[in-house]
Structure 1
Amino acid sequence: MATKSFPYSAFLRGPSDVLPTLDNADVILERRDDENLILMRAERFEAGAASLRIAARGLAIVARRNSGLAEEVLAEELPWLTWLPETERHQCVRELLGHLMAGADTGELLPFGRALTSWRSTAVVWSDPRLARDLQGPFAGDGPQVPRPKADS
């Protein structure tokens, strides 16, 4: 879908000049001191949300039946997955799919976005063997090991 940008102040001054754009495009309202806003017709929003739900559930079914294929599908879109150790790759795929399915169902995609950013950062660290080794410790300044507390009876 096409998008068209307008200053937020233009929308405040004359919404009737901006709203007709929604017939053919989504509108990005650019704000100087805060995040931009997006205006779109409800029908386009609902179609996108329904599409996301179907795609997320479809990918989740593939993952349950053939985890290797699901990883391959995600790795096609997220090539940095190859930098993760195999065990973490499996965990990453499961976590991302879980967040994607929950987000598709609720409309709350920020947890998915945060998890995606976090896993990408983790993969970048793993791509540098020296950095990955250094971040696994031991760390200078670590104190002596403390025994685990005993369970209460």
Structure 2
Amino acid sequence: MAEKSFPFSDLIRKQTSVFPALADADVILERRDAENLVLSRSERFEAKETALRLLARTIAIIARSNRGLAEEVFAEELPWLKWLPDTGRAEAAAELLDQLIAGADTGLFTPFARDLVAWQHTAEIYAQPELAHRLTGPFDPADFSEVSRPGHAE
């Protein structure tokens, strides 16, 4: 399904262009100083929610009966996992799978999405050996200095 984008101000000034677009697509309202918003017809939103929960529960059932298979599927679907060290790869797949299972049970998938981004960024660091080396230490304590707590005057 395609999405259509409109400036947020069009929702207020030109509703006649925004609402008809919902007939065959979700609408992204682009805001300058805040996160974008998505408008969707109730039927389409509920269909996506139902499908997402069903898929997440299906993966949860597979994971409970064959954890190794579920982790293999994650590794195949997330090719950047190969940049992690072996122990990190297993840890990432297990953590992401646990977050997805929890999301299937609660309907809250934001923690999964955050972890997915965090693990991908970690993998991208490991893909650059010099950067990974600099970030894993060892660190010279002389390079550090004490800073005051934000909001507190010294």
Change (3 A) 1:8 1:122: same
**Amino acid in the other structure paired with 1:30:** E
Instruction: Give the Cα–Cα distance (whole angstroms) in 2 for the partners of residues 66 and 25 of structure 1.
Output: 38
Q: Is the 8 A contact 1:49 1:104 kept in 2?
A: no
**Amino acid in the other structure paired with 2:40:** M
Q: Which runs of 5+ in 2 are unaligned?
A: 143-154
Q: Which runs of 5+ in 1 are unaligned?
A: 143-153
SS in 1 for 2:33: coil
Instruction: Give the Cα–Cα distance (whole angstroms) in 2 for the partners of residues 105 and 18 of structure 1.
Output: 34
**Amino acid in the other structure paired with 1:50:** T
Residues matched between the structures, number: 142
SS in 2 for 1:63: helix
User: 1:81 aligns to what?
Assistant: 81
User: 1:132 aligns to what?
Assistant: 132
1:52 aligns to 2:86 (yes or no): no
User: 1:38 aligns to what?
Assistant: 38
**Amino acid in the other structure paired with 1:47:** A
Change (3 A) 1:19 1:64: same
Q: Is the 8 A contact 1:80 1:124 kept in 2?
A: yes
User: 1:121 aligns to what?
Assistant: 121
State which drifts further: 73-82 or 9-18.
Answer: 9-18
1:67 aligns to 2:79 (yes or no): no
Instruction: Give the Cα–Cα distance (whole angstroms) in 1 for the partners of residues 64 and 123 of structure 2.
Output: 23
User: 2:98 aligns to what?
Assistant: 98
**Amino acid in the other structure paired with 1:101:** I
SS in 1 for 2:101: helix
Instruction: Give the Cα–Cα distance (whole angstroms) in 1 for the partners of residues 66 and 104 of structure 2.
Output: 21
The TM-score normalised by the length of structure 2 is: 0.79
Instruction: Give the Cα–Cα distance (whole angstroms) in 2 for the partners of residues 65 and 48 of structure 1.
Output: 26
Percent identical among aligned pairs is 57
SS in 1 for 2:141: coil
Instruction: Give the Cα–Cα distance (whole angstroms) in 2 for the partners of residues 13 and 78 of structure 1.
Output: 42
SS in 2 for 1:33: coil
- Runs of 4+ with >4 A deviation: none
Instruction: Give the Cα–Cα distance (whole angstroms) in 1 for the partners of residues 135 and 33 of structure 2.
Output: 36
Deviation of 1:135 after TM superposition, in Å, equals 3.0
**Amino acid in the other structure paired with 1:51:** A
CA deviations over 1:88-120 (Å, ceiling 9, x no partner):
222211211222233344443321121111111
Deviation of 1:130 after TM superposition, in Å, equals 4.3
Instruction: Give the Cα–Cα distance (whole angstroms) in 1 for the partners of residues 102 and 16 of structure 2.
Output: 37
